[in-house]
């Protein structure tokens, strides 16, 4: 278990985390080797200001076109798959399609900074 890893979020995601509506995040092309049990620092983009910590309680890895409603729980929704692919392609500056692997991180034990 490590606690020197960070996960960044857009400002509108920070508010969803703070009010308990966002309890998972989807990550692509994971270069941080995130693992169950990791305590991660939550960072607000673009300022790169830490706003809390959370513990990764579960990780599910599968193709985007295989996601179920349960997989999507705790994550924002999209009008359709094309909108979702476009949004993540923009975030990652790489093409994201139905056959792209996504790492669903469920987190709990959220400790928000003042």
Q: Which domains does the chain have, with CATH numbers?
A: 5-112 (3.10.400.10)
How far is the C-alpha of 91 from the C-alpha of 103, rounded, in Å? 15
pLDDT in tens, 41-75: 999 999 999 999 999 999 999 999 999 999 998 99
pLDDT in tens, 12-46: 999 999 999 999 999 998 778 899 999 999 999 99
How far is the C-alpha of 106 from the C-alpha of 73, rounded, in Å? 9
Report the predicted TM-score, pTM, of the whole model to 2 decimal places. Answer: 0.87
Contacts made by residues 85-94, CB under 8 angstroms, sequence distance 24+: 88/26, 88/28, 92/28, 92/29, 94/28, 94/29
Q: Give the three-state DSSP class for 48.
A: coil
């Amino acid at each position: 278990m490590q606690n020197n890893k960070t996960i960044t979020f857009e400002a509108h995601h920070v508010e969803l985390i703070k009010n308990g509506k966002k309890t998972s995040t989807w990550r692509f092309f994971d270069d941080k080797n995130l693992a169950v049990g990791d305590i991660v620092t939550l960072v607000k983009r673009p300022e790169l200001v830490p706003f809390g910590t959370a513990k990764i309680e579960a990780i599910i890895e599968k193709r985007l076109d295989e996601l179920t409603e349960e997989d999507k729980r705790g994550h924002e929704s999209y009008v359709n798959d094309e909108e979702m692919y476009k949004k993540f392609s923009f975030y990652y500056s790489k093409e994201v399609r139905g056959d792209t692997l996504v790492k669903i991180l469920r987190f709990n034990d959220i400790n928000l900074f003042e």
